[in-house]
Amino acid sequence: MKCPYCGYEESKVIDSRPADEGERIRRRRECLKCGKRFTTHEVIETVPIVVVKRDKSREVFDRAKLTGGILRACEKRPVSVQQIEKMVDFIEAQLQSSLDREVTSLHIGELTMDQLRNVDEVAYVRFASVYRQFKDINTFMEELNKLLSEK
């Protein structure tokens, strides 16, 4: 880190503390040449994830939108807010750990259905019926039969 006083490029960290609710780290540094102290802030750099929708339009990934979809599927079901948050955290971590900066809405939907299948089967079927756009009762029954055969 370059000293703002003398321009020397080496310093030592004297103190580190979390700032902005853990989103940043505040560091007190001391220049190894002139001895003056200064403060730096370290922030995690995130690259936004772009979602490619079915109609080929693109939009930035919205965690709130994913949470809302899962909440609707889990409405009146014995699924806690903590379980929903855990699912959303897992899905977002999967997307962030991918090297791709563009992901399809289909991929996000599949990740979501995998999580819901493990948490609540009724919520899974609700989500699948909207996500897969079931046209009639036969398509709905096919999905139910798949779910039953997995057991």
Question: Does the pLDDT of residue 132 top 80, yes or no?
Answer: no
26-30, 91-95, 108-112, 137-141: least confident range: 137-141
Alpha-carbon distance of 32 to 30, in angstroms, equals 6
Residues 6+ apart with CB under 8 A from 109: 131
Query: What length is written for the chain?
Result: 151
pLDDT at 43: 81
pLDDT at 98: 82
pLDDT at 120: 92
Q: Are 60 and 25 in contact (CB under 8 A)?
A: no
Alpha-carbon distance of 35 to 11, in angstroms, equals 9
DSSP state, 48? Answer: P
Per the model's pLDDT, the better-predicted residue between 98 and 46 turns out to be: 98
Which amino acid, one-letter code, is at 102? E
Count of alpha carbons within 13 angstroms of residue 35, beta-carbon side: 0
What pTM was estimated for this model as a whole?
0.64
Alpha-carbon distance of 109 to 123, in angstroms, equals 13
Split at pLDDT 50, 70, 90, the class of 27 is very high
**What percent of the chain is predicted at pLDDT more than 70?**
97
Question: Does the pLDDT of residue 125 top 90, yes or no?
Answer: no
Domain ranges, ordered by start, for the chain: 11-43, 50-150
Residue 137 C-alpha from the chain's centroid: 33
Mean pLDDT score across all residues of the chain: 89
